[in-house]
Amino acid sequence: MGHAIEIKHHAVGDGLHIEQMRLVTEILNLLKGHGAMTVQPRHINAVIAAANLICDEFGRADQVAAPGSGLVAWACSDRVGMSSVFMARRLAPLAGLQFPGHRIPDEPAYPYDPSDFGRCMGLLDAVPELRLHIAKMAEYGKVWAAYVEHWDALETLYKEESIGENAPKLYARMKELQRA
């Protein structure tokens, strides 16, 4: 049986409204632009299911790990990325913790931009015992070594600029360290 078409209007933060049927129509038009000229009912049902998931996800509040909440709470939060997972997997055993696993694959990664850096800071805030071992990250490449050497200054820049949409001074400094 197909999905019931339920007209959904989701109010999302900052005045964003997602209309499910418009989203379905736009996805189908996008697929048509990619050459999907023959659309079967099962395809439409899949698009409706995807639109429902998108609407539901945008309507959900962000899950943030509170300071000191621990590794599991952090891993289950929405503020997790490749570099922070890479960091957590390396530092957890040093702190006597077992990494709970995560859908993000175990691939070498470093914070590329202020958002990535913020997720790494969120990890250290949620699991403060990892902070004692941050120097170990220097073993995972030149960029990590540069970040470790300047970690406190990077954190200061992040905190100074975190009230804005972006962090141009932190981003510039990170790019310098990445090139060094």
The first and second tokens of residue 83, run together, are: 């570099």
pLDDT tier for residue 3 given thresholds of 50, 70 and 90: very low
User: How far is residue 5 from each of residues 44, 52, 164, measured CA to CA in Å?
Assistant: 10, 10, 40
Which pLDDT value is given to residue 19? 87
Which of helix, strand or coil describes residue 146? Answer: helix
Which pLDDT value is given to residue 147? 98
Quote helix, strand, coil % in the chain, to nearest 5: 60, 5, 35
Query: To the nearest whole number, what is the mean pLDDT of the chain?
Result: 90
Which distant-in-sequence residues (6+ apart) come within 8 Å of 164 by Cβ? none
Residue 16's DSSP bridge partners are 12
H or E segment at 12?
strand 9-12
Residue pLDDT, tens place only, 16-27: 678 888 999 999
Residue that is written with structure tokens 């015992």 in the block: 129
Total H helices, total E strands in the chain = 8, 2
Q: How far apart are CA 81 and CA 148, in angstroms?
A: 18
Residue 57: count of CB within 10 angstroms of its CB:
12
Residue 94 has, within 13 A of its CA and on its CB side, a CA count of 16
Residue pLDDT, tens place only, 65-89: 999 999 999 999 999 999 999 999 9
Which of helix, strand or coil describes residue 109? Answer: coil
Residue pLDDT, tens place only, 108-147: 999 999 999 999 999 999 999 999 999 999 999 999 999 9
- Structure pTM? 0.77
